[in-house]
Structure 1
């Protein structure tokens, strides 16, 4: 069946109804519960949706009270917004295939390659920065195509496949850079694109905001997004409804490659150089934010808004603790704890839905 069939009552229609309609109970209507009970359920629903935002506000207030001289400043806010923007882009890159039911463990390594390749071309090879940016994005597309083809054509599991391609990408990065940090002079206007502020807002955060808005619209308000969620929910039903699941999955991995390339270039512009091993520490924060974000705004579903909130919850927590003198390992502890908490919450919620 064609993937362009309109009006299909299958998985696409079901995904749309699930997205737009509230849960009305087994009978699909009024269940006889008292107004007080319904009010309590609405309050509980609002709490589950926006609890993470409350955590973000609470963390900011606590650290501002405990350490006002360092934390409660405009410059610190600007730094957090800028530094976490790269993690936010990587987290969104992780979310796209997750929505379609697949993992991409190569994202951190793609990010490292993009950063190093951008620095190599601009600093050492003296390429026009815009040409270098375009080349890096094309490389991201190629990696996404490779991942998508291996998974959909050969039916390989995405978890181990992308881990394997990620290690290949890491090796390629170390070969290109001779496993060395790349620094040196670069056009000032290019570096300013990663360092300047507009009305006090860092440009990297604005890039993240633009990407997040585009991706939010794509996933929540387009046929492509509804199909992606349908595939992630039940790929067999999605195929029976006429959705080309394989094509959708391949497109998801291409989008991930582009976002990783963009994140690497923005990071290079901000830092003025690159490190060949930066990708090793980038994967866990991205997945932690993606999973934690699935407990917020749209609980039980990977979503853009929740992911962004989770990125800054983790970023604010780590920054506040480090400014209080915490050791460098606190970052890994915080990211790991966030991932575990997200998994526990999602597992408990799923069991309650099944039991109910």
Structure 2
């Protein structure tokens, strides 16, 4: 029987408060940003139009951030997703505008191409044993070259079917459709990793691939599948971008890549190292977007966006680390 001398001391109020603040830091950041800018810009910021604009314009980034999760969960990096987004956007728009294909056919071809690219990445990393970071950077550069070759290095403009444009510009009960897609994809990804054996195996592989192999898990096959899933989501981000803009630019990949990874790591920080998750990622994307939108409305210089995103990520990581140290010290008492 555990005596009073060996039983753990009850958590103090300060400990419970600290845990609460770290656990819900993203939500508090989001609410705090909205409250601050609503008070500072009462005529423009706390409006339905502003909320709809933030929701729609950041949906592509949110989907791309979700695309980074599958590889990260298995302990790998996929730096090609930003370039796959650019290729998917260019290919989808080009097939519709230049080749005159129906949108459904263009989307199917685009998704198939990116799925093949994800398969190649997965095979190079899992079966050939190449370093994921360098490999996907290399394939990403090749993919960018393919996109530039396809578009002749320029943007794609032209007439697109209204139904395809409505896919990215429509609304449901005042909610922009792009936000609906983000929430649906986040829900599916959350269910996949929380309630399926495949998702639990992915986390096990990310935690210790050798131990997972010794337990009989098909590590290589699951890693390949993770890269394919990430490529599928990156392709969907590209298709959505083409539908929203009605055009394409083969050079946009790098612009989305770093913010996407920043959001993923920010979303995981309150939970713990390696605990990448869909909902945290989406909240992180829109918390940063809400702050950046407020700064832009106040006339801040364009480079302030980088300071805000990087600073928020550093603060979140530092807070999570501080909380982990406090937990270790409390257990050591």
- Displacement of 1:275: 1.1
- Displacement of 1:347: 4.9
Distance 1:285 1:270 in 2: 19
Q: Any stretches of 5+ residues in structure 2 without a counterpart? A: none
In structure 2, relative to structure 1, the CA distance for the partners of 1:239 and 1:336 (3 Å cut) is same
- Displacement of 1:342: 4.3
2:173 is aligned to 199
How many residues are treated as equivalent by the alignment? 326
1:208-244 per-position Cα deviation (integer Å, ceiling 9, x unaligned): 1111000000001110111011111111111111111
2:54 is aligned to 80
- Which structure 2 residues correspond to residues 202-351 of structure 1 after superposition, within 5 A? 202-296=176-270, 298-300=271-273, 301-348=275-322
Distance 1:153 1:349 in 2: 38
- Displacement of 1:329: 1.9
SS of the residue corresponding to residue 274 of structure 1 reads coil
SS of the residue corresponding to residue 191 of structure 1 reads helix
In structure 2, relative to structure 1, the CA distance for the partners of 1:179 and 1:31 (3 Å cut) is farther
Distance 1:350 1:49 in 2: 12
Query: 8 Å contact 2:22–2:319 — kept in the other structure?
Result: no
Match of 2:107 among 116, 126, 133: 133
1:33-86 per-position Cα deviation (integer Å, ceiling 9, x unaligned): 444x26654443322111110110010011011012221110100111111111
Residue 106 (1) aligns with residue 83 (2): no
- Which structure 2 residues correspond to residues 113-192 of structure 1 after superposition, within 5 A? 113-192=87-166
In structure 2, relative to structure 1, the CA distance for the partners of 1:250 and 1:289 (3 Å cut) is same
User: Normalising by the residue count of structure 2, what TM-score does the alignment of the two structures yield?
Assistant: 0.93
Query: 8 Å contact 1:284–1:336 — kept in the other structure?
Result: no
In structure 2, relative to structure 1, the CA distance for the partners of 1:96 and 1:349 (3 Å cut) is farther
Deviating 4+ runs (over 6 angstroms): none
SS of the residue corresponding to residue 263 of structure 2 reads helix
SS of the residue corresponding to residue 61 of structure 1 reads helix
Q: Any stretches of 5+ residues in structure 1 without a counterpart? A: 1-26
- Displacement of 1:139: 1.1
- Displacement of 1:335: 2.9
1:72-101 per-position Cα deviation (integer Å, ceiling 9, x unaligned): 110100111111111111111111111110
- Displacement of 1:311: 0.6
Distance 2:113 2:49 in 1: 35
1:32 is aligned to 7
SS of the residue corresponding to residue 282 of structure 1 reads helix
Distance 2:203 2:283 in 1: 21
1:296-320 per-position Cα deviation (integer Å, ceiling 9, x unaligned): 3x33311111111101111111111
Of 215-224 and 42-51, the range deviating more from structure 2: 42-51
Of 189-198 and 329-338, the range deviating more from structure 2: 329-338
In structure 2, relative to structure 1, the CA distance for the partners of 1:210 and 1:318 (3 Å cut) is same
